[in-house]
Structure formats: structure tokens, C-alpha cells
Structure 1
Amino acid sequence: MGSESVLFRNGFRYRRAEASGLPSALRVEGLQYTYPGLLLTVLLIGIGAFGYFLMSSLVGAFLPVELEKMGASNTFIGIFITSIPYVLNMIITPVVSFQSDRLRTRLGRRMPYILCSAPFVTLFLILIGWTPAFCAGAEWMPQWLPRILLGMLSVGYQIFFLIVGSIIYYLFPDVIPERFIGRFMALFSLTGSLAGFIFSRWLLPFGENHLGWLFTAVSLFYLAVIVLMGRTVREGAYPPPDDAGKPFSPVGMVRSYFRDCYSIPFYYSFFIMMALSDVSTVCRAMFNLLYAKNTLGLSYAEFGEIMGWGGVVGVLLSFPVGLLVDRFHALRVYAFGLLLVVAVNLFSFFLVHDYRSFLVSSLLLAVVYTIQGAATLPCFVAILPKAYYGQFSSANALLRAAFMAICGAGGGALFDWLRNYQYIYMWDFLFTAAALGAFGVLYRSWQLRGGAQSYIAPLPRDRSP
């Protein structure tokens, strides 16, 4: 009986070969690596990820401030920055995730979505970047029109960003051997921290007066590195999906999706834990720069400097935390991160009141979110079934989107009522504490199913609790 045929990477190029002579730890989904081949793959994904992180920083950093300048309320900001995008997320992410698990092309099942969405992400970012300057010079516009226009462009951007923003995370388990996923995610997190440092330290102050040029440069850089990644990172061959050959039915797809993803009670606590943890940061994502400017009196440069030092912390800690994830298991490290998030936010709510205390709080938050971030994707890999990974990840994203859509508008309305951005910390504290409760339920069920030694992810056909 012949050995399995795989795509083999020893250097820059791939070739078809028989799977033999190398440890199985270097094999994944029809791909076989040598250590240099695996390192090169990680480097190329890292270059794409660097562009992705820079690109994804733009809207969250600048759009709330630009909308506020146009007279938008916190509720309006919450609806357009968070609620509408996550309602779209509830529609788009399950569809592309379900279909990407079943797609079979020469480029793979994930890469076509990443490559096809990139030009549209770039186009909308360029339009968003130049809209404030255009509207400022258009005196004929009604006062309300600029913020509506900017909000709608943001929605257009989010439609295509949601495609790459979900699918790019599904790519990693398909091309990185599971044994190395913790260390890979540490490097991925390190890349994000490095991008965050560069963005906060230099690009954020530049954008205060040159917004259009900043959006144009970063979005074009993102397009270039994503195309580079798509041309140089290959996916392996996947077995045909279980429903291959069956006629496509939208109603049947929806029925199959919900039956598969939400019929296994074991996963409920995992989905809820992740949703609550993500919701905990929604108000910080929307209002942190406004808090620094309007409540603490910081300039763009001062805020960027503090966030930049947070990026340095992330760079220094990402790889050691990745080693801890591989050593102690992702779930345990993630729970430790949740505990630290609760403690730091409680401290910050009562003690942050100026530049120095905001700096200390931001550095501590950078530490705890580095720990939590490095463990997040390995938690997904450890808990969810590999054959349905994209589909179950999107089921988590669907619940998360419902929470975020409600809490985005709700958080904006809450801060319109409170008129005090200090409560960003209390919001984070309460939702993270609730996520810890969901973790307790998940951890007990996980242990009953074998824990770190013998856990096997329940499949859709196995619907026992």
C-alpha cells in the first residue's frame, strides 16, 4: 500500500511528494514540512498578519473621533461602529464559514475568500480616510449628512472586513501543525503587538492631520502583503465534505448549520464564555481615545505613546506566553488571563485619573490581554471539532455578534446617560467576571470528557450533553 501523497515544502516552493521520512508533527491536512519550510510558512503568514493588524487598527482608532467631530452621539457611534457591523456579522460569517469548510479549489478553501475581499477592504478604507476632508470643504452639505456618509462607508468596509476577519483565523489550523499552534499564535500575537506599537507610536499622531494619506498608505500596504501571502502559502488537499454531491439548498444549509452547531450542549458554555469576554472590551474599543482626550486631557501623541508601550509589552510577552499555552493547556492559561483582566479593571476604575495612572493601567491591561489573546485561538483548536472547525467557529461568532450588536448600541446609550468614560473599566470588569462563570461550567464538562489527556471534540452526529 503506497504512502499518502502530500504537498511538501522544504524551501520557498512546494512540490508533490510521498509522506514519509519526516515526523508526523510536521504534517497537517495534506501538507508536509521540514522545519525550514514550516518556518518560512510562518514568516509569510506573519507578513500578511502584520498588514492585517495595521489595517484593522484604522477604523477603530479614528472613526469614533471623526464621528464625534461631526456631532455624532455615543449611541450613534455605538450603532455604526459596533451594532450594525455585528448584525451583518450574524449574516455573513456563518455563510462564508459554512461554505469555506466545503469549498475545494486550487487555492484551497480559505485563501479565495481572503484574496477576493482584500481589494474591497482597501477601496472602502481609502474612501473613509478622505471623507472627513471632503465633507469639511463641502459647505453645501446638510449638517447631518457627513456623519451618515461616514457611517455608511464604515458599514461597506465592515461587510468585506468580516469575510477576511473570520476566514484568516480558520486558515491557521489548516496550514500549521497542531503541535505548534500555541507557539504560532504567540508569534501571531507578537506580530499584532508590534503592529500596534508602530501604529500607536507613529501612525496615530500622523493621522491627526493627514488622515486620508494614512488610510491610503496602510490599506494599499495591506493589499500588497495579503496578495503576497496568498501567492506563497498553500493549503493542502482536504477530503470531500460529508454532503458532497448533494444539491445546494439555502434552507437546507441553514437547517444543517443550526442543527450541527447548536445541538450539542457541551459547546454552549464555550460560546457564551467567548462572547462575554469579547463584549467586555466593546466600550474600550469605541471610546478609549475619547476617554483619553476628553476625560484625562491627553493629546493624540500622548495616547499613542502609551498605547505604543503597551505594544512593546505585547512583543516581549507573546512568545513566552505561547510556550506556557503549549505547556499548561490553552484553557488554563485563558482562565488565568480572565482572572487578571478582572483584577486590573477593578483597580483601574478607582485609581486611574491622569497620564501616569492611565499609563500604568494600560501597561497592565497589555500584559493581561497578551496572555488572554495568546490562548484564545489555541482554545478554539483544543475544543472545536477539526472537521467542522470553520462552521463551529462561525457559530461562536454568530452568538458573539448578537451580544456585540446589542451591547454596542446599549453601551453607547449607557455612556450618553452616564457622561463618564471612566465606566469603561467597570463594563470590562462585570462582563469578564461573567465570562469566568461560564468558564467554570466549560472546564468541568471538559474534564468529564477526558480533559487534557483524552478529550475528543463531540461531533454533530454525537449529540450527547
Structure 2
Amino acid sequence: MNPASELRPDAAPASRKVWKVGTLTYTAAGIVALFVWLLWGDFAWSMRDRSIPPVITLLFKNYGSPDMLTGILIGSLPALLGLVLNPIVSYRSDRLRSRLGRRIPYLILSTPVIVIGLVGLAFSPPLGTTLSHWFGPVLGASLATLIFLALFWTLFEVGCVVSMAVFNALVNDVVPQELLGRFYGLFRAVSLFAGMLFNFWIVGKSETHHMAIFLGMAILYGIGFTVMLVKVKEGEYPPPPEPQGPDAAGGFLPAVKSYFRDCFTKPYYLLCFLSGIIGGAANIPFNLFVLLYVKSIGLSLETYGKYIALTYLISFVVSYPLGALADRVHPLRLTIAVQSVFALVTLACGLFVESQVSFLVGLVALGVMAGAYYTASASLGARLLPRAKFAELSSAGGILGAGVNIVLAPAVGFILDQSGHNYRYTFFMGFILAVVSIVLFLLLYRRFLRYGGPAGYVAPE
């Protein structure tokens, strides 16, 4: 069933609420159907994102990867791929006009790439063992396995980067703007539910049943995301903007010039990008190495998983109210408030976490506040960026974010290697990044008010 109702606004009964976004028109039933299918796709997406990074982090460590190399593979490599692929896919997606829309074709292409990457990760250990037998003592089984893990992880991330470039843009194209905060609240709730499932029942088996986890996620994502793509329909779009001036001839170089002119010549949007990038990066130092932190203090993965599930349960309860609050007070205001509390929590963790008990208390507090930040800021881009060039401008933020992550992840790993793997330092690194992001968000808010503020905002062209 097409979630976009064929009902026309002028044909609707006066008492019947109708929502419009572009050429799509929804009744209440159509909104429910749209949300159900998007959230089903989000569940498959979230199970993939919640389960794969922790498992691959442990496998890299188990097969001899130092923290700095793990940081490069888990943090810098996806960022580098995003730096290359995100602008290309986003720019072309904004300008694509096809029978299936402008976003769904790219999501269709990326889905089998992700599935193949997951299957390859599942079979990397036996492939590594086989390869080491062929080469004898020249190539050990651990190094050979690490090579296969890195190769299939790269393939997996290629698919993830392409899908990430357009999935949020699809949401922005099909969900009415006045419902975006609520949708992203539900979006976060589904993601947190997936996190609870993984951490309560599966994370403790990450080292012993990694093949089953990878294969299970391949099946779930392949089927779940494909069903969403079949059920969700895009509307019609106006013709893409025609190149002007010296770019009118078309071609690669004019497209590149047009892209950089649209995305990197407006200080307001650069401030939008940087504030969100640094805000999200504040959680990276701890998140990237949390499982290694857990093992360093002798805490079992089962116990860690239960407390993460508790964290997600709390975040699950507050996610929709936070999304609704973002619609009412504006996500920029809410983001500043939430990030301020997050900064205080990271500082408190750095100062007072000394035992397993205090670590678990800090883990829950930090996780809840990090989740609140992601929920509060989820609809921020959709509320600040112009809809016609949403994917293109979002990808510009991705480029800057990739640059930050390329440097940040291995830098954190290097500091931890030099400190003797004192993972408590990750709290202080997160605090510094959170404070910087708050300053940037406040500067952004001042400019936001100049463009009309919450009541009359118009995105500058």
C-alpha cells in the first residue's frame, strides 16, 4: 500500500486533517502507514549499526590490532569513504529524477553491498586460516584474518556511507516538516529498542558467536530494508536547478565548482555543520573504546550489556517526548540545553569514575545524555537547511565531519596507547569537545534569530 494517500486537499472532508509535503498528501492513516514502514526500515538499519561496530572492534583487538589501527579502521576509514562518496552521491541524488524517485535508487544499490560485506565479515576467520595455510609461515592466521576483516569492513562501510548519504534526505522528502521532531523521536525509540535487544541478549556472545551475528544481521538488513524501499513511495520533484554562468556547460569540473559554491561559501551553513559535527564528536572518544575500557577494568560483557540495555530503556521512554518538545521549542534550543548537561556529565565521569560501580553509574548517565542529544538534534538539519538542496548541503557537513573523524579517531587511539591504555581519559576528551560545540551552537543561534528565529525562519539561499 502506498503510504501517500491519493486524497486531494480540496476533496477532503472539512473535519479530516491532511498533511502535505511536496506533491505527497497524507491523511492520518497515510501518516501512520508511512511511519510504520520507515520505522521498520529504521529497525533493520539500527540493528545493523548497534551490533556490527562493537563486534568488529573486539575482533580487531582479538586478532592483534593496536588501538591506533583500530581507531583508523573504525573511525578514520568510514570518514575517509564519506569524504569521497558522500558529496558525489548527495549531489547527484538531489538532481536525479527517476520513476522510483531521487533517493530510493541509491538505497536499492547500496543494500546488497552491505549484505555482501556482512557475509564476508562472517567468513573472515576461516578465510584467514585458509590463506595462512597457503602462505605457510610467511603469513600468520591472525594477520591474514585481520586483512580479510579490514577488506570486508571497507566494503560494508562503502554501502553504509552511500545509504547514509540519502536515507535522512528520503525522510526529509516524505515526512511533513511539522512532524519531523516527533518522527525522529520515534526513530530514536526504534534505534534504542534495537540497542536494548542487542546489548541485553547478544553483546555477551560477540566474541564467541560473531559469525552468527554477522549472518543474522545480513538477513535482517537485507530483508527489512528492502521491504521498506518497496512500501515507501517518493513524490514528484520540480526540475533540478539549471547550471548558471560558466558552469552551464555541465560536466564533472563545473559540477564540483557548483557543489563547493553552494556548500562552502555561506558562513551560516558552515557554522551549522561545525556545531553539529563537534557536538556529535563529543561522544566518540568514549564510544569508540568503551568495550576495551570494560575489559580493562575486569567488567564482564554480559554485565555491560545489561546496563547498556538499561540506558536504552531510559532513553526509549524519553525519546518521543523529547522529539515532541523539539517540535514545540525548536531543536536548536533543545540541543543547546541537552548538550550543556552532557558536558557536565562527562566532566563528572572523568573526575569520579574509579571503580566498576562508578563506571556503571557513569555509563548509564552518559548514555542517556548522549541519546538525548541525538534525539534533540535529529531534526535540526531538516529545520535549518533548504529542502531543495538538503542532501547536497548535508553531505558538505559530512565532508567536514569526515575530516574531523579522520584525525580524531586515531588521535584518541594514539593518546590511549601513550597513556598505557588509560581509557578514563576518554571522558575528558569528550568534555572538551562538548564545551566547544556549545560555544558553536550559541553562535549559530544568534545567526538563526537574524533569519527569523523559531516563528519565521527562512533558510538563506
1:204 paired with 2:203, answer yes
What is the number of residues matched between the two proteins? Answer: 448
Mapped partners of 2:11, 2:426: distance in 1: 55
Q: Which SS does the other structure have where 1:237 is aligned?
A: coil
Mapped partners of 1:14, 1:345: distance in 2: 44
Q: Name the residue aligned to 2:65.
A: 72
1:20 paired with 2:10, answer yes
Equivalent of 1:260, from 252, 259, 262? Answer: 262
Q: Once superposed, what is the RMSD of the aligned Cα atoms?
A: 1.9
TM superposition shift of 1:306: 1.2
TM superposition shift of 1:19: 4.1
Mapped partners of 1:264, 1:24: distance in 2: 38
Check whether the contact 2:451–2:460 (CA below 8 A) recurs between aligned residues. Answer: no
TM superposition shift of 1:326: 1.2
Q: Which SS does the other structure have where 1:32 is aligned?
A: strand
Equivalent of 2:282, from 280, 283, 287? Answer: 280
Check whether the contact 1:30–1:236 (CA below 8 A) recurs between aligned residues. Answer: yes
Check whether the contact 2:4–2:24 (CA below 8 A) recurs between aligned residues. Answer: no
TM superposition shift of 1:365: 1.9
Check whether the contact 1:25–1:179 (CA below 8 A) recurs between aligned residues. Answer: no
For structure 2, the 5+ residue unaligned runs are none
Mapped partners of 2:438, 2:29: distance in 1: 40
1:172-183 alignment, distance < 5 Å: 172-183=171-182
Q: Relative to structure 2, which stretch is displaced further, 281-290 or 222-231?
A: 281-290
TM superposition shift of 1:13: 6.2
For structure 1, the 5+ residue unaligned runs are 1-10, 460-465
Q: Per-residue CA shift, 1:370-398, capped at 9, x if unaligned?
A: 32111223111111111111111111111
Q: Relative to structure 2, which stretch is displaced further, 416-425 or 182-191?
A: 416-425
Mapped partners of 1:336, 1:215: distance in 2: 38
1:51-450 alignment, distance < 5 Å: 51-135=44-128, 138=132, 140=136, 141-142=139-140, 143-243=142-242, 248-294=250-296, 296-418=297-419, 419-450=421-452
Q: Per-residue CA shift, 1:238-265, capped at 9, x if unaligned?
A: 0011128966411111100000111111
Q: Which SS does the other structure have where 2:424 is aligned?
A: helix
TM superposition shift of 1:298: 1.2
Q: Name the residue aligned to 1:38.
A: 31
Q: Which SS does the other structure have where 2:298 is aligned?
A: coil
TM superposition shift of 1:165: 1.8
TM superposition shift of 1:83: 1.0
Mapped partners of 2:17, 2:442: distance in 1: 34
Q: Which SS does the other structure have where 2:10 is aligned?
A: coil
Q: Name the residue aligned to 1:4.
A: none
Tell me which amino acid in the other structure corresponds to 1:52: W
Check whether the contact 2:129–2:144 (CA below 8 A) recurs between aligned residues. Answer: no
TM superposition shift of 1:114: 1.0
Q: Per-residue CA shift, 1:412-436, capped at 9, x if unaligned?
A: 1111111211111111101111001
Check whether the contact 1:313–1:366 (CA below 8 A) recurs between aligned residues. Answer: no
Tell me which amino acid in the other structure corresponds to 1:238: Y
Mapped partners of 1:15, 1:253: distance in 2: 36
Check whether the contact 1:94–1:394 (CA below 8 A) recurs between aligned residues. Answer: yes
TM superposition shift of 1:57: 2.1
Check whether the contact 1:280–1:429 (CA below 8 A) recurs between aligned residues. Answer: yes
Mapped partners of 1:376, 1:394: distance in 2: 17
